[in-house]
Structure 1
């Protein structure tokens, strides 16, 4: 049985697919796809071989593209991706996630922040209104990238449970399929607020929210103001930033099998460039759930490096050993086939990379 791995790349100028069938030694590039629309997130279904890409902007409007033949042909739909008349129009789709039962149901997070669901593989969409009906909605404020729902985390066994993260409203959890929501931000701070207000119920600027494998209630969060872990589904968060070069960054990627292993790419801070610290690139890894961190630099550029990596632009694959990948704001794509121990650049001169996901196929 042959194994193929696809890297699904969203950029400011379309989607791209990198494919390897020789153990991740060489990669072939296809694209750009999606008529070079801005594509914020691309995901795939290994069982059906379907790829979805979400994006858009004020000019194009929002849409979800779909390919049923691994990128050879594409169609797109925006049917239902709209709020009620008189509300602020939706600019773009920012995040996608399949429902865990694998029946073609999808979630989409959009800007301005809200949640939509499709039960026909992305052909039509319906608003899940409970989130925007939360009492805190009137107080949500846009972050630097806008008021976006950028992280969608599904419970692996319960389709009614869902976590989302919104800049800058914070993290929320629903236990009833999105009908009602509870803020889950206790313990995460807002350094940009007065000291006596730094731990509010909502209003945190979450940058990335990911789930640990095999532990549905363990979540990791890269925040504008720190790095955190929760072991109770986000009800309480504890700081795990000690040992990191910065409390600021965007992406986080969980190991596919080990709930204690996580990868980060910290940046130098929110007001000093948002580039890799000290002009040297490193991916940081913990193998003990954040108690300690190790910088991984072998094969990464170490002089005069001034790129950043965005919130959805890092991913792992499910192979053994796990692969780790990230894309940069300057259009480079880096890959590790040994869990971060060594790296190589597999692409350059792409448009700004907005997202990286993996799709492993067995032929």
Structure 2
């Protein structure tokens, strides 16, 4: 065998090795990415309350609507044509009519006129695979976005720039920011995950379990009058914590499984069921009634 033939065989072997290695790396990345999304069982329902406008926003299977009468009647909010689908809606702090939607392949979109016009504010993120989005409780221009296979990013200029804050935790379904006291920075960030609830100060010092909620947590919300009062929905029911998520107790059961929760500025607790039915409690979740029946 000539030296040239030996060199050719060595090059061919190295090429095959590189191809196999590349395929393995890509497969592992794709599997991890798919596992992140599948593990979340991404909810297609979301609620948010705009305290400035006194309106309730509902995202149900990709359709956004707004209610100006506490859920009795609804008006469709048109969304732009998107490659992906939106799975979450959140409202800017202290602003009237400014809210955001986000989702896998859709990125992050903002409207400043109750949905008449939309702007893509996620272009500086590493990808459009946004799996969760939360608005800061008191800072109108600050948002937190969970990007699949990347981590949690923060913007403090309404999407002009984003900074990686944390590599994230597994199975994030929803993010929630509160201004509960005791943080080393401006508040607390909660994550509803496929394996319970997690919490960290928004300086991202350390994530820890938020109580002992077992299994997937669908949604988290809090009472803006008392930020230490949290509510969580799981397949087991709806739970309340009065100490920032250290301990939970089950509250009045809903007739259907709740996938999304929101609290109004007067303390009304809303729950969006798996079949799209909306329930409300005005007595501290001691009783529930269909929102349209009030």
Q: TM-score range by the shorter chain?
A: 0.5 to 0.7
Assess, with a 3 A threshold, how the Cα gap between structure 1 residues 183 and 327 changes in structure 2: closer, same or farther. same
1:239 aligned to 2:232?
A: no
State the match for 2:248 in structure 1: 293
TM-score by length of 1: 0.54
Say yes or no: does 1:118 pair with 2:115: no
1:311-331 superposed Cα distances (whole Å, 9 cap, x missing partner): xx2122332xx3323232245
In structure 2, runs of 5+ residues without a counterpart are: 1-43
Structure 2 residue 188 is the aligned partner of structure 1 residue 226: no
Query: Distance in 1 between the 2:106 and 2:215 partners?
Result: 25
**Is the Cα contact below 8 Å between 1:41 and 1:54 reproduced in 2?**
yes
Q: Report which structure shows greater RCO (CA 8 Å, sep ≥6).
A: 1
The residue number in structure 1 matching 2:288 is 344
Say which of 82, 103, 106 aligns to 2:99: 106
Residue 144 of structure 2 is aligned to residue 163 of structure 1: yes
- 1:332–1:345 distance in 2 versus 1, CA, 3 Å: farther
Give yes or no for contact 2:91–2:98 (8 Å, CA) kept in 1.
yes
Match of 2:265 among 308, 312, 318: 318
Matches within 5 A, 1:249-268: 249-267=217-235
Structure 1 SS opposite 2:101: strand
Residue 87 of structure 2 aligns to a residue in which SS?
strand
How far residue 114 of structure 1 moved from its aligned partner, in angstroms, is 0.7
CA contact (8 A) 2:180 2:228 kept: no
Q: Secondary structure at the match of 1:259?
A: strand
CA deviation digits over 1:232-290, x for unaligned, max 9? 34443211233x3x1422111212222222111233xxxxxxxx2xxxx4x22221222
Change (3 A) 1:51 1:169: same
Unaligned runs of 5+ in 1: 1-38, 58-62, 83-88, 141-146, 186-200, 268-275, 349-363
Contact map agreement 1:169 1:204 (CA 8 A) in 2: no
Q: Which residue of 1 aligns with 2:17?
A: none
1:151 equivalenced with 2:154 (yes/no): no
More helix by share: 2
* Aligned 8 A contact 1:64 1:122 in 2: no
1:20 equivalent in structure 2 = none
Backbone CA RMSD of aligned residues: 3.8
Answer whether contact 1:228 1:237 (CA < 8 A) is retained. Answer: yes
Alpha-carbon contact 2:223-2:263 (below 8 Å) kept: yes
Normalising by structure 2, we get a TM-score of 0.65
| Matched residue, 1:211 | 177
Aligned position for 2:153: 172
Aligned length: 245
Contact 1:106 1:121 in 2 (8 A): yes
1:184–1:235: 8 Å Cα contact kept in structure 2?
Answer: no
Runs of 4+ in 1 over 6 A off after TM superposition: 66-73
Contact 1:51 1:66 in 2 (8 A): yes
Cα-to-partner distance string for 1:156-193 (whole Å, 9 max, x where unaligned): 1x3332112356655321233323333444xxxxxxxx
